[in-house]
Amino acid sequence: MKPILVVFSGGQDSTTCLMKAIAERGAENVHTLTFAYGQRHALEVKLAEEIAKEQGVASHKTITVDWYREITHNALMDETTPIGREAGAPFPNTFVEGRNALFLLTAAIYAKSKGILDLMIGVSDADYSGYPDCREAFIRSMNETLNLAMDCRFTVYAPLQHMTKAQEWALADRLGCLEYIRTRTLTCYEGIPGDGCGKCPSCKLRAAGLAEYLSTKEPKE
């Protein structure tokens, strides 16, 4: 089995990716990389480390990008800015400029040094807020740029690319980890793990997806 590096935040999306990678390749071939980039909740980074450890991954690393706040501004990295969408703005003010590009580039540099050419990231363009770096066109272009930059053949896997939240919950269920992801991961903008605050856009999206999936699920005998 070829090793793979998962860009891992400890949220629903990247934990679903992690569980998929482990199911397919075995935990001994799965590595995780987490970024502390000034996001609102330091708990996110700690939780990612805990989940990686619980799942027995081959290695886990955290990189601190302490200058991210210095070069851009958004509500995710500034607790004094209320989360929302300004009039006429193309996407909500939680968008962190260049984040997925920075994550994938750093992951690729690190992976290559470990002899790993497969990367996985939990982006999705369905159900989401129109973040440009969650689109398939970006992921493909990024993959090509990484190959050109480092003269090798990376493969960027984005298994959630076209999945709605309901489909993600279905995948988690098939992987046997729906309850684990429901209770253990952190997606809430208020920093509350599991079902979260229930009020922020992220919690609402997560809860609606879960309700949708559960409503369509065949009742067990």
- Tell the smallest beta-carbon distance from residue 50 to a copy of itself (Å): 21
Q: State the Cα–Cα distance between residues 46 and 51, nearest whole angstrom.
A: 9
- Which residue in 178, 220, 209, 202 sits closest to 40, CA to CA? 202
Site string for a copy of itself, 64-103 (x = CB under 8 A): xx-x--xxxx----------------xx-----xx-xxx-
- Tell the smallest beta-carbon distance from residue 17 to a copy of itself (Å): 20
Contact present, 29 and 2 (Cβ < 8 Å) = yes
Contact present, 74 and 82 (Cβ < 8 Å) = no
In the bound state with a copy of itself, the residue whose beta carbon lies nearer, of 54 and 144, is 144
Does residue number 43 form part of the binding site for a copy of itself (CB under 8 A)? no
In the bound state with a copy of itself, the residue whose beta carbon lies nearer, of 64 and 183, is 64
- One-letter amino acid at 214 equals L
Residue 162 DSSP class: T
Residues numbered 109 to 148 that lie near a copy of itself (CB under 8 A) are 109-110, 112-113, 132-133, 135, 137-138, 141-142, 144-146, 148
Burial of 88 (0-12, 13-18, 19+ CB in 10 A): exposed
In the bound state with a copy of itself, the residue whose beta carbon lies nearer, of 98 and 191, is 98
- Tell the smallest beta-carbon distance from residue 139 to a copy of itself (Å): 9
Q: State the Cα–Cα distance between residues 83 and 117, nearest whole angstrom.
A: 36
Return the SS3 of 125: coil
Which one of 52, 108, 166, 171 is in contact with a copy of itself (CB under 8 A)? 108
Q: State the Cα–Cα distance between residues 68 and 37, nearest whole angstrom.
A: 6
In the bound state with a copy of itself, the residue whose beta carbon lies nearer, of 152 and 214, is 152
Name the token pair of 27: 């935990």
Contact present, 150 and 109 (Cβ < 8 Å) = yes
Binding piece for a copy of itself, criterion CB under 8 A, among 14-22, 51-59, 61-69, 158-166: 61-69
Q: Which residues bind a copy of itself (CB under 8 A)?
A: 63-65, 67, 70-73, 90-91, 97-98, 100-102, 105-106, 108-110, 112-113, 132-133, 135, 137-138, 141-142, 144-146, 148-151
